[in-house]
Amino acid sequence: MVPWIRKYLPKTTKDIIGQSSSITHMKNFIKNFKQLKKKALLIYGPSGSGKTSSVYAISNEMNLEILEVNASDFRNKDLIDKTIGQSSKQQSLFMKEKLILVDEVDGLSGTKDRGGIQAIAKIIQNTSFPIICTATNPYEQKLSGLRSKCELVGLNELTYLNIFEKLKEICEKEKVKFEEIDLKSLSRRAAGDLRAAINDLQSLVSDGELKKEDVRELSERDKTETIIDALVRVFKIKDAKVASAAFDNVDEDFDQRFLWLDANLPKEYTRPEDLVRAYDALSKADVYRGRIRRWQHWRFLVYVNCLLTAGVATAKDGKYKEFVKYAPTMRLLKIWQANMKYQKRKAIAAKIAEKTHSSVKDAIKNTLPYMQVMMQKDKGMKTNLAEFFDLDKEEVAWMVK
């Protein structure tokens, strides 16, 4: 099977999404190369934004031959003279202009490549061919010598709509059945990386279809990964300020965060004193959580977050260096889910009890089951009862489930 990232490689610059001004900049650089002072471009941008494919698309369009070399190749003077020197002779034979591409100059590491980067910087000064380098982060220390010799061109981080557009086009060409909402969710997940998005899409499509469950499962996996990152921050770091931002990117609600912390804390904090202090922070957080629930004191949320993060982080005397595999405990999760279900039932029963002047217990036992049956059987009854007892959407859904 052909990887779609290869199959849908942009052939001309028209196929490149979201980078038109940088493309123009690159084309002008090649056209005006002879008159320019700076003989190289440093194209930078996030992974999967189109750095490499832009260079290839432009060279197709302008009928250039690309010579792709590694940064470390530049240390080898013979090789450089051979490739660049020889190609200058070939130029007259094939009448094709050359373009030198040094892809991912920042990707290589170590002293070997450092030497290579210095060598490119030198060659740029008297090259007779346009040189284009690419990097994800052009401001890295090791690129400083190169940076000053190049003109910098930044590619945009692709928006999720940019990505959605491309995925949709691919689905249509591949005759894949999909729902827009799922493609959008994949597009958002890619966080600007079109290569990753196309790969995800290809790996999820089966039997000519993008299945909802598969997209959902992937996003569940992401959620788990972000919560694990958050746990690492809370457990491994002692700095209160850094720790307090741990859950900033986590979507899961406070109940879920409690469960994860609670379940994994004893695996991480093996010194009893640390454990005691950490659980103390958790239990204080739990008290505030209870007050929020009961009295809707939302300002306590700040305290809950502080105790969960900084509270737990600073509870340890020293850092724990061992690697710990964090996991949600299914048992706790099940209890919690059952509790939530029970709470919904209790909340509904409380509303019934109030209107019928009976006790909550009574309502659960006698009224609620009948109401459930009636609401499930009759749509009109469903709306009427929901209105009469002032049930919200979730409660109605629970009743007819």
Ligand X SMILES: Nc1ncnc2c1ncn2[C@@H]1O[C@H](COP(=O)(O)OP(=O)(O)O)[C@@H](O)[C@H]1O
By CB under 6 A, name the binding residues for ligand X.
5, 8-10, 15-19, 45, 47-53, 158, 166, 194-195, 198
Residue 55 contacts which entry, ligand X, Mg ion, none (Cβ below 5-8 A, type-dependent): none
200 or 274: whose CB is closer to Mg ion?
200
Q: State whether residue 44 is helix, strand or coil.
A: strand
Q: Which does 174 bind (CB under 5 to 8 A by kind): ligand X, Mg ion, none?
A: none
Q: Whose structure tokens read 């029963």?
A: 349
Regarding beta strands 40-44 and 64-68, do their DSSP bridges make them parallel or antiparallel, or are they unpaired? unpaired
In the complex, the smallest distance separating the C-beta of residue 52 from Mg ion, rounded to whole angstroms, is 3
CB of 226 to ligand X, least distance (A): 23
Written as six digits, the tokens of 188 are 């958002």
Unique residue bearing structure tokens 């000064």: 125
Residues in contact with Mg ion, counted by CB under 5 A, come to a total of 2
Q: Is 367 in the site for Mg ion (CB under 5 A)?
A: no
| Closer residue to ligand X (CB): 40 or 371 | 40
Which partner from the list ligand X, Mg ion, none does 195 bind, CB cut-off 5 to 8 Å by kind? ligand X
What minimum distance in Å lies between the beta carbon of 50 and Mg ion?
8
Residue with smaller CB distance to Mg ion, 51 or 345: 51
Give the residue nearest to Mg ion (CB).
52
* Span near Mg ion by CB under 5 A; candidates 49-57, 153-161, 257-265, 315-323: 49-57
Of 51 and 98, the one with the shorter C-beta distance to Mg ion is 51
Q: Which single residue brings its beta carbon nearest to ligand X?
A: 50
Q: How far is the CB of 78 from Mg ion (least distance, A)?
A: 27
Neighbours of 215 (CB within 10 A): 22
- Reading phi first (left if > 0) and then psi (alpha if -120 to 50, else beta), residue 10 is in beta
Q: How far is the CB of 195 from ligand X (least distance, A)?
A: 4
Nearest partner of 137 among 52, 45, 19, 53, judged by Cα:
45
Burial class (CB in 10 A: 0-12, 13-18, 19+), 99: buried
DSSP-assigned letter for residue 34: G
Nearest distance from C-beta of residue 392 to ligand X, angstroms: 44
| Least Cβ distance, residue 193 to ligand X (angstroms) | 8
Core vs surface per residue 127-152: b (16+ CB within 10 A) or e: bebbbbbbbeebeeebbeebbebbbe
Phi, psi dihedral angles at 161 (to 5 degrees)? -75, -35
Judge contact between 135 and 47, C-beta under 8 A.
no
Which of residues 18 and 116 has its CB atom nearest to ligand X in the complex? 18
CB of 123 to ligand X, least distance (A): 22
Report d(CA 297, CA 395) in Å as an integer.
23
The residue (of 170 and 360) whose beta carbon lies closer to ligand X is 170
Q: Select the binding partner of residue 147 from Mg ion, ligand X, none (C-beta < 5 to 8 A, by kind).
A: none
Answer with the entry of Mg ion, ligand X, none that 192 interacts with (C-beta below 5 to 8 A by kind): none
Selected from 13, 22, 52, 59, the binder of Mg ion by CB under 5 A is: 52
Which of residues 124 and 133 has its CB atom nearest to ligand X in the complex?
133
3-state secondary structure (DSSP) of residue 192? coil
CA distances from 319 to 240, 268, 325, 326 (A): 13, 10, 16, 17
In the complex with ligand X, which residue's Cβ is closer, 53 or 264? 53
Q: DSSP string covering 267-312, please?
A: HH--SHHHHHHHHHHHHHHHHHHHHHHHH--TTHHHHHHHIIIIIH
d(CA 335, CA 358): 29
Residue number with CB closer to ligand X (55 or 368): 55
* The entry of ligand X, Mg ion, none that residue 138 binds, CB within 5 to 8 Å by partner kind: none
Residues that bind Mg ion (CB under 5 A): 51-52
